[in-house]
A and B are shown apart, each in its own frame.
Chain A
Amino acid sequence: MKVELRDPNKIMKLSRLGSFHQSKLSFLRSFLNEFKEWEYKRDLFNLNENGFGEAVYSFKKNKRVYSLICFANEIKDEERSDRVIATKWDAAFTLHDGVPTKKDIERLKNEVPKQEVGRLSYKELTLSRANKSVRIYNHVVESLSKGKQPDLNLLSKVGYLYRTTAVYGSGKFGLADRFRIKNREEINGPFRLEMMLVYLVRQFTFDQVNHVAYHKNPKIAVKLDDNICKNLGIGNSTGLGMAPFIVNHPTLLNNWILSREKALKKIREIKNVKGEDRDLFTDCIKKSLKNITSWNTDSEYQQKKISSLLKDVEKFLNFIDKDFNFKSEYPFNKIYQWLEDNTCEECIEYIVSIMMEPYNDIINPLVKEMSSEEEKYFNIPTYRKVEELRNIIEAKYPNILDINFEEKENNKNFWFISKNKEEPRLADRFEEHGSELEQPLAIARDIKKLYDKLLVSKNSLTIAEFLTSNSELRHVVRRAFIVEKFPYSEIQDNTIGKDLMPIDMLRLKLSFFGALKFDPRSDKWLRICMFQGAPLPNELKSYDEQWVYKTNI
């Protein structure tokens, strides 16, 4: 039986993309898989009794070394902020290519804590900073210094000791450009070095609390239990900075979604499912319920989504237990169809993610297809004709063409870059100033404009001729030719309408990172947790691949 890939016009809607969950394709899981054979080491741990100073951690294989350099700093409580306007953080990090010399560490000590206003070099690959979850950090230090393990109930409410507030890579602030390292096999997957940084930062947070607790009370202090460490991740606080990325990297977005869609298609095409695969699938769903019930958020929007997810997953488990025969042919196809008919988008995508668990043979090759040589698709095929471009738009953007941008509600917002922090922002074009400096992120509106122009242009005109008098539409002409080849490269929704939920865009990206427990703090900002339940670095050589569904706190 042949199953079709899902329709981009359905899957690329923001409400669907904003319902995606982590899976075996997620970057943090593929990072662990790739680096499990590497030699992990703590090379330097030079902190004072209060936990301030420098530390270096590394992964090494053959002659290749990646080193995380950590700078832990003393800051005042009032200086601590997750917002991008902050200028000081509890800790700052960079991933260095190779073994840093003393001179490198001295240089970086002056630059890394400054973050966006510091300068890095081509020898640094990623840059980040993090703040303590003060309540949890202090509680853990206090407990350990008294010889006790911390209160698990309290830990479970947060899930981490530190949260990062930005992770930068790919040439930002002088970091190495992607092209310098793109041929390294071990990083042939998106954001792999960013994942490495976050993973090693997690270990630093455990080492730091143990160190501070010990110095507080050397005779009594105990170390944080490994099992508790394993169940703590690293938080991340994310704002709109992430949203333009998925619009500005269409072929990359396509490759992420297409890999997911190919995986689902192949799983639906499995005629007979082995008993062990069935058991693994159902076991993951049952165990994952803990992830849903421990998913804390004050956001009413997210609470509703979690509640319908929990209700639908329980309904699904009931269906599987009582009404479903896994021995029938093409069981995953039947499951998928049942999900579409009976559950919410959040639940459909949740189960789709878990369907991948038993199938390394399907997933592992797809992980290698998730990067993109974006430069290859940049040039516009200007020899093609207006008629062809119009046909592409009609075929690829049917719902976009139905939107009336003359209506105020469909044209309500504009994206801009703030002068203060050079970060993307969203504002009401009818209430705020600055819409004349709008960023080219209103793709739906501009595609519609392009279509209207094409309707009154000669079919036989070449695109080169068309562009001589329509330069303002060049950016969307390029995109239309990209979407012709890459069906999942475009969000099939209005990114400037009044009903836009920008966190859907953030969540799409974060789900591919492998984030858990999305906790929106507003419609433009959310917190997440990464690596919660993941093996510790010294356990990497042999670990339970389904760790993500087995958190204990």
Chain B
Amino acid sequence: MKSLSEIETTVKRASKAAGYSWGVSEETGKSIRLLELFSLPGIKHLNEYFNEKKKSKFENLNLISESNSSSKNPYCPITLGVSFLDQINTLEHLKKIQFKNVAYPIIFISFISRSSEIIGKKIYVKMDEKKILLNLNVNISSNFIEQEFPKLVNTIELNLLENEDNFTDDEWNNLYKLSEETFVEESDSLKKGAAGAGLTDND
């Protein structure tokens, strides 16, 4: 088994050899390491992408907007990922961001996962019919984890989710009420003595 450290170092060097700058190669190393940590096929797809890059052209998207479309060649997932990571603070206010025609989207997903941690928000990704939830870079969950990841996707739609509870107020209140059963009702003497501070602070 390869260690994550070996994966990161080799990916960094391979990315440099594939034509990216050292700084971008460092980012790619971190991202592929992350995918492999989550048992997602990072090495496999990066390998295939680098092979295809020798034969085909890919588009670099440097400035991301609400709707991004590459009509001619698919977007390079690395340049797109690094741009997304760099611009996440300005993109945060957008509710939805759309990308058309993205190559090897799983590579792009790793950068979105890291961005989710930076802004402290979950990001919901719809890739054609496939759905992925990126949870602050702590985990990646999806409805197609056992299936083959696509090499090309027509549309990726990102929803930057507001930080909200996953449960109802009723559910919370019921649980809170139960937790109150571990508290002690304070008598007058406990009120006076148990907290340590005085009852008035008008000095």
Contacts and interface: CB of A to CB of B under 8 A. Distances in A.
Is the A/B pair a real complex?
A: yes
Interface string B1-24: 111111000000100000011111
Contacts of B26: 378, 474-475, 478
A170 to B, nearest CB: 6
Contacts of A378: 26, 30
B184 interface: no
Interface stretch (B39-47, B83-91, B165-173): B83-91
B22 A464 contact: no
Contact of B89 (A177, A383, A477): A383
B44 to A, nearest CB: 19
A174 B22 contact: no
A132 B87 CA distance: 56
A174 B2 contact: yes
Contacts of A380: 86
A175 B62 CA distance: 38
B8 to A, nearest CB: 9
Contact of B118 (A379, A462, A463): A379
Contact of B5 (A172, A464, A467, A472): A172
B24 A379 contact: no
B114 interface: yes
Contacts of B6: 171-174
B194 interface: no
B86 A174 contact: no
Given A174-B2, A174-B3, A179-B4, A473 B23 contact: yes
B121 to A, nearest CB: 15
Contacts of A464: 86-87, 89-90
Interface string A437-480: 00010000000000000000000001110011101111111100
Interface range on chain B (Cβ under 8 Å from partner): 20 to 34
Interface string B107-149: 0000000100010000000000000000000000000000000
A404 interface: no
Interface string A200-219: 00000000000000000000
Which residue, B3, B82, B87, has most C-beta atoms of chain A within 10 A? B3
Contacts of A135: none
A176 interface: yes
Contacts of B195: none
Interface in B52-73: 62-63
Contacts of B22: 440, 472, 474-475
A140 to B, nearest CB: 38
Contact of A475 (B1, B4, B21, B86): B21
A467 B86 contact: yes
Interface range on chain A (Cβ under 8 Å from partner): 20 to 34
A110 interface: no
Contacts of B89: 382-383, 464
A68 to B, nearest CB: 20
Nearest to B4: A177
A425 to B, nearest CB: 15
Which residue, B22, B62, B87, has most C-beta atoms of chain A within 10 A? B22
Nearest to B27: A474
A537 B93 CA distance: 61
Interface string A84-113: 000000000000000000000000000000
A476 B26 CA distance: 11
A338 interface: no
Nearest to A467: B86
A121 interface: yes
A379 B88 CA distance: 12
B23 A174 contact: no
A472 B16 CA distance: 11
Contacts of B24: 471, 474
Nearest to A171: B5
A380 B27 CA distance: 10
Contacts of A469: 62
A122 interface: yes
Contacts of B13: 417
A178 interface: yes
A429 B28 CA distance: 28
A472 B83 CA distance: 14
A179 B37 CA distance: 11
A170 B63 CA distance: 37
A135 to B, nearest CB: 38
A471 B85 CA distance: 14
Nearest to A417: B13
A339 to B, nearest CB: 40
B1 A170 contact: no
Which residue, A176, A382, A462, has most C-beta atoms of chain B within 10 A? A382
A467 B20 CA distance: 13
Nearest to B17: A437
Contacts of B2: 174
B23 A474 contact: yes
A382 B86 contact: yes
Contacts of B23: 471-478
Given A382-B86, A471-B24, A475-B22, A177 B5 contact: yes
Contact of A171 (B4, B62, B86, B90): B4
A121 B1 contact: yes
A463 B83 CA distance: 11
B5 to A, nearest CB: 3
A511 B90 CA distance: 45
B4 A174 contact: no
Nearest to A474: B23
A179 B3 CA distance: 11
Contacts of B62: 468-469
B83 A175 contact: no
A247 to B, nearest CB: 12
16 contacts: A122-B1, A170-B5, A171-B5, A171-B6, A172-B6, A174-B1, A175-B3, A177-B3, A379-B114, A382-B85, A468-B83, A468-B86, A469-B62, A472-B21, A474-B23, A475-B21
Interface of B: 1-6, 13, 20-24, 26-27, 30, 62-63, 82-83, 85-87, 89-90, 114, 118
